[in-house]
Chains A and B, each alone.
Chain A
Amino acid sequence: MGVSVDSGNKSGKKPLNADLNLVPYIDLLTCMVAFLLITAVWSQLARLNIHQKGQGQAGEDTPPEKVFKLIVLVNGDGFNLVADQDQQPIPKKGESYDFEKLSDELKKIKDSHPDKTDIQVASEDTIKFDTLIRTMDAAMTARFPDVSLIDSGGAGI
């Protein structure tokens, strides 16, 4: 392997073909490949950020009657969307939960209450974790970033 600049053999001069010394480059590449392979993270994981309301935070200083309560109750039949005094059941579609309709309804509520950022997801004991994660994910997609997960008994519905 070489760099052909000009072949000066005909005029009797020294040839200008020069071989590049690739050994340091190959060494560097080999070291980098070894280092990156050792430090590689093959399983990319992330976290769903849940703002668990602790004791003393739930009531805060705002009088309870002025707080717009938004709760998604997850039960065996589907969702029950509680927006202040209104309750809207969102039944299952066949065997699966209707996340699309839940997301649409939550987006409508967000449009009518743009300052509202918190939402509670209340679950019954038998609900699978996957369903809860998808429910909380739907709530976050509908621009309610402060999601808290509570027991359905504590929702006060």
Chain B
Amino acid sequence: MPIHAPHAQLFNSVKLEVAKAKLGHEGRKSSYAALNLVAYIDMMTMLVIFLLMSFSATGEILFVQKNIVLPDAQNWTDLERAPVIGVSKDVVTLDGAQVATADELMKDSATGDFKIAELHDKLVTLKNNYKLLHPSEEFNGIAIIQSDKNVEFKMLKKIMYSVAVAGYQNVNFAVVPKAKGGGAAPAP
């Protein structure tokens, strides 16, 4: 019996050349394809850079309510954590909970007292809670009024009075920061 050099014995029993070629995958490209990831990585890098540039470490302190349009100002400072009083044309809210309606505030008080009782009481509670939770810190007395730009001063003065009577001497107004002529925001 002759000795043959070893070689591929696959499909020798198949007589048809076409079928042999089919079974042996002859002449076909590999089904593995390299994905081109350059464009994908470029896009991700750009996205990360954009998001890092707009990143704010303080987080979102104020949420814009849908019925409040804020005025814009040039001489702004950064927000701080403080009770937020929302003033729209219809209602007054403290941290999202309604404390008075605009109709109540637009009426002239019979007694001449501007104080909004519910707002005052809640602010006093918040102040006392702050003092209990931060006994070593001095109370800064900051309250932020987030008012619609078309609200009249008649409403605002009652709110400001209630806030001041509750012990918050630093009343701040939420604004949309407007770019100024190159200067930075002034120090408080």
Contact = CB atoms under 8 A, between A and B. Distances in A.
Nearest to B64: A43
A12 B172 CA distance: 77
Nearest to A53: B169
A54 B176 CA distance: 27
Interface in A44-78: 44-52, 54
A-side interface size class:
35 or more
Contacts of A48: 73, 75-77, 172-175
Interface stretch (A3-11, A28-36, A88-96, A104-112): A28-36
Contacts of A123: 153, 157
Given A33-B48, A33-B51, A50 B175 contact: no
Given A22-B37, A40-B54, A140-B75, A133 B64 contact: no
B contact residues, range: 35 or more
Given A36-B51, A52-B160, A151-B157, A29 B44 contact: yes
Contacts of B71: 129-130, 133-134
A85 interface: no
Interface in A130-157: 130, 132-134, 136-137, 140-141, 145, 149, 151
Contacts of A44: 56, 176-177
Contacts of A37: 51
B147 interface: yes
B62 interface: yes
Interface in B163-183: 164, 169-177
Contacts of A51: 170
A41 B52 CA distance: 11
A126 B77 contact: no
A125 B45 CA distance: 53
B38 interface: yes
B17 interface: no
Contact of B172 (A29, A47, A125): A47
B186 interface: yes
Contact of B153 (A22, A29, A46, A124): A124
Contacts of B148: 129
A129 B149 contact: yes
A1 interface: yes
Nearest to A74: B153
Interface of A: 1, 22, 25-26, 29-30, 32-33, 36-37, 39-41, 43-52, 54, 123-130, 132-134, 136-137, 140-141, 145, 149, 151
14 contacts: A39-B59, A41-B54, A41-B60, A43-B63, A45-B70, A45-B174, A46-B176, A47-B172, A125-B152, A127-B153, A129-B71, A129-B149, A140-B186, A149-B171
